[in-house]
A and B are shown apart, each in its own frame.
Chain A
């Protein structure tokens, strides 16, 4: 082997020795960086694209009247799971009130594991964007809808299929970019 070739060989090794760990480090940094950006709370729901589970519950304001998910057949509607004990719901509430005022989509509330009088007082204080609220005292309907972090919001189409689910606060950006385009599209469909 000529000395010249040897030098080249050595320098190539040096580059490898430097580049390999650096490459591995960068790859790991990117992987972990992406991982950090993910929200572990956002578990993909198996319910999107499936029929909304049927339920029938007493209404929050009228304990003797009932609400059935079937009542909303033929309409595009939103089901919003809320509770007076849920701090994030308060953050989300003005967005729902504005959405209800615009009148684009009927919103049904699912008052989840709440005390009836506290739920009613909460709506009296912060405004009631709901067509009505169904009263899920024991959280059984919540389980059927895979609820684990209130607030949660579902957009359900005319056939009663869940088309969108949001876990956590609905922001104005989500309304504008996700919910409104979807609702327009679903309303146009038969």
Chain B
């Protein structure tokens, strides 16, 4: 095999490998113009709860409804709707529950502020207990208490002898 033929072969193989790349990725790579749109779709999809698999966002989920909702998001963004409008669209249909980050409302006050409140309460209890214990250990006995302790020890000694 002469070197020209070999180089041509290498070039052909390299070309073939290049064309195979997108197929290996498992899905069509979005066209360059769509990259920005896809980024917005994903960002918004990460804010929306999948109602079928409730602990996932629609970005994470492959449930059919999640795919449909993602497509809705994509369509509406492509139409030029804003993120706010799309979130309102979803809330109008599925309620606040569709939001992965629930809004601060009267009904969600405990949800938002409960954990920090418990933390503060726990810290306060902890500090108080530690302080008390330390104060209790360090406090010297008063003369009265000394006398009582001595009396008690004496009773015990007498009892033993």
Give A contacts to B, CB under 8 Å: 40, 43-47, 113, 138-139, 143-146, 148-149
Contact = CB atoms under 8 A, between A and B. Distances in A.
Given A148-B65, A149-B51, A149-B52, A43 B95 contact: yes
30 contacts: A40-B54, A43-B51, A43-B95, A43-B97, A44-B95, A44-B97, A45-B95, A46-B91, A46-B92, A46-B94, A46-B95, A46-B96, A47-B93, A138-B68, A139-B64, A139-B65, A143-B68, A143-B69, A143-B72, A144-B93, A145-B93, A146-B93, A146-B94, A146-B95, A148-B51, A148-B52, A148-B65, A148-B94, A149-B51, A149-B52
Interface string B57-84: 0000000110011001000000000000
Nearest to B63: A148
Contacts of A143: 68-69, 72, 93
A20 to B, nearest CB: 11
A146 B95 CA distance: 9
Residue of A43, A44, A138 ringed by the most chain B CB atoms within 10 A: A43
A113 B68 CA distance: 11
Interface in B104-158: none
Interface of B: 51-52, 54, 64-65, 68-69, 72, 91-97
Contacts of B51: 43, 148-149
Contacts of A40: 54
Contact of B64 (A44, A47, A113): A113
A40 B65 CA distance: 17
Nearest to B95: A46
A45 B72 CA distance: 20
Nearest to B54: A40
Contacts of A148: 51-52, 65, 94
Contacts of B72: 143
A82 B110 CA distance: 37
A148 B49 CA distance: 11
A70 to B, nearest CB: 20
A138 B75 CA distance: 14
Nearest to B66: A148
Given A46-B93, A46-B94, 12 more contacts: A44-B97, A45-B95, A46-B91, A46-B92, A46-B95, A47-B93, A139-B64, A143-B93, A144-B93, A146-B93, A148-B51, A149-B51
Contacts of B92: 46
Nearest to B68: A139
A143 to B, nearest CB: 6
Nearest to A144: B93
**Closest CB pairs A-B (n = 3):** A148-B51, A146-B93, A46-B95
Nearest to A147: B65
A85 B96 CA distance: 29
A5 B93 CA distance: 65
A129 to B, nearest CB: 25
A7 B64 CA distance: 69
